[in-house]
């Protein structure tokens, strides 16, 4: 039986795939609402971590599906209940060096640890998740039926030793950043030609989904997005994986220009570049007398400042 800690969107979808494959799973989430949603779908849950640990047969296997920042506090709460032979799987987006540290800490107590990168988002429950596993082969074999139930055929990989699963997921997410930026830039350029060429960006992107070199999952989602309302705030959040990928590139001497630009573009959308741009506008005014604009968007003549 698998003990699943974290019944959010990803965790709940994974639990459903396990159940549909005939595999036993007992879930826990500190949010009573999340537990109630899981129970409404026929999934068994425990009301507390202690109850979860008591209900699992020994040696116990726990799969953590929580944010990276919640892993250490959760492990601290679990440590008094873990025994030699137990196995902890971190399926969240943790930094691979943190996973190595956690694996060594648990290993010293005789507890196994696997770091597992999981990709698939909201579509994973239906289409399967991409799974990247790091850790000892014997421990991977122990949960192999659960891995196979999550992934489509050929969609999971034992990526390597401790940390390799989360390292692979970090690189995967860096590529995702760059792909999204490229798709967005190209679509923006299509929209720029609407008037003088009579170009239909939505139709072009939809056609790209069939037969072109740039077709793929993210392009499919872009075509769907373009059919809906585009009036959202132009702010793109970033998570740790993109930054970690760039830090690894610097540390290992691997140039990552596309990933870097994609991350910087996200930061600019969050307003981090506003001071830089304001300073450049003021410098142009200072040396060339060029007009500047207030935050409201109207031009300000030189005499106004």
Prediction pTM value = 0.90
pLDDT digits (tens, 9 = 90+) for 154-207: 999 999 999 999 999 999 999 999 999 999 999 999 999 999 999 999 999 999
- Size (the chain), residues: 305
pLDDT digits (tens, 9 = 90+) for 9-30: 999 999 999 999 999 999 999 9
Helix (H/G/I), strand (E/B), else coil: 67:
coil
Is the predicted pLDDT of residue 73 greater than 70, yes or no?
yes
Residue 252: its pLDDT value, please? 98
Token code pair at residue 217? 């999952």
Closest CA to 150 of 38, 65, 44, 242: 65
Is the predicted pLDDT of residue 44 greater than 80, yes or no?
yes
Q: What are phi and psi of 116, to 5 degrees?
A: -130, 115
Residue 233: its pLDDT value, please? 86
- DSSP letters spanning 21-35: TT--EEEE-S-HHHH
Helix (H/G/I), strand (E/B), else coil: 2:
strand
Supply the residues annotated as catalytic: 169, 176
To which residue do tokens 């549909």 refer? 20
pLDDT digits (tens, 9 = 90+) for 123-163: 999 999 999 999 999 999 999 999 999 999 999 999 999 99
Residue 39: its pLDDT value, please? 96
Give the residue, 242 or 284, on which the prediction is more confident. Answer: 242
Is the predicted pLDDT of residue 244 greater than 80, yes or no?
yes
Residue 296: its pLDDT value, please? 52
Sheet of strand 87-90: strand arrangement = 44-45, 25-28, 2-5, 61-64, 87-90, 112-119, 130-134, 156-160
Give the β-pairing of 44-45 and 61-64.
unpaired
Most distant CA pair in the chain, distance: 78
pLDDT digits (tens, 9 = 90+) for 101-118: 999 999 999 999 999 999
Measured distance CA(223)–CA(204) in Å, rounded? 9
Residue 278: its pLDDT value, please? 81
Residue 77: its pLDDT value, please? 96
Q: Residue 110: how many CA atoms within 13 Å on its side-chain side?
A: 7
Residue 60 has what DSSP assignment?
P
122-130 long-range contacts, Cβ below 8 Å, gap at least 24?
122/9, 122/13, 123/217, 124/10, 124/13, 124/14, 124/150, 125/13, 125/14, 125/16, 125/17, 127/152, 128/17, 128/152, 128/155, 129/14, 129/17, 129/155, 130/155, 130/156, 130/172
Asked whether the beta carbons of 19 and 38 are under 8 A apart, the reply is no
pLDDT digits (tens, 9 = 90+) for 264-301: 999 988 887 777 778 788 888 888 888 988 765 433 33
Alpha helices in 41-131 (DSSP H): 49-55, 71-78, 96-107, 124-127
């Amino acid at each position: 039986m698998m003990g699943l800690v974290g019944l959010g969107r990803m965790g709940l979808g994974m639990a459903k795939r396990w159940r549909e494959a005939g595999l036993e799973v007992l879930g826990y989430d500190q949010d009573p609402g999340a537990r109630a949603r899981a129970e409404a779908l026929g999934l068994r849950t425990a009301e507390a971590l202690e109850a979860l640990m008591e209900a699992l047969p020994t040696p116990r296997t726990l799969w953590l599906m929580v944010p990276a920042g919640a892993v250490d506090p959760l492990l601290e709460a679990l440590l008094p209940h873990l025994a030699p032979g137990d196995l902890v799987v971190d399926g969240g987006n943790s930094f691979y060096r943190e996973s190595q540290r956690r694996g060594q800490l648990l290993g010293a107590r005789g507890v196994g640890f696997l770091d597992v990168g999981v990709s698939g988002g909201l579509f994973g429950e239906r289409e399967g998740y991409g799974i990247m596993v790091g850790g000892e082969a014997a421990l991977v074999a122990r949960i192999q039926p659960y891995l196979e139930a999550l992934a489509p055929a050929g969609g999971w990989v034992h990526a390597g030793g401790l940390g390799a699963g989360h390292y692979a997921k970090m690189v995967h997410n860096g590529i995702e950043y760059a792909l999204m930026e490229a798709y967005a830039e190209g679509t923006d350029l299509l929209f720029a030609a609407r008037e003088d060429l009579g170009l239909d960006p939505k139709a072009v992107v939809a056609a790209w989904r069939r037969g072109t070199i740039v077709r793929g999952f993210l392009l499919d989602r872009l075509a769907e997005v373009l059919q809906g309302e585009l009036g959202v705030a132009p702010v793109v959040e970033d998570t740790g994986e993109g930054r970690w990928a760039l830090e690894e590139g610097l540390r290992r001497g691997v140039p990552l220009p596309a990933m870097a630009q994609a991350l910087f573009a996200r930061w600019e959308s969050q307003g981090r570049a506003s001071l830089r741009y304001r300073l450049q506008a003021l410098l142009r005014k200072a040396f060339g007398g060029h007009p500047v604009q207030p935050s409201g968007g109207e031009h300000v003549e030189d005499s106004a400042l």
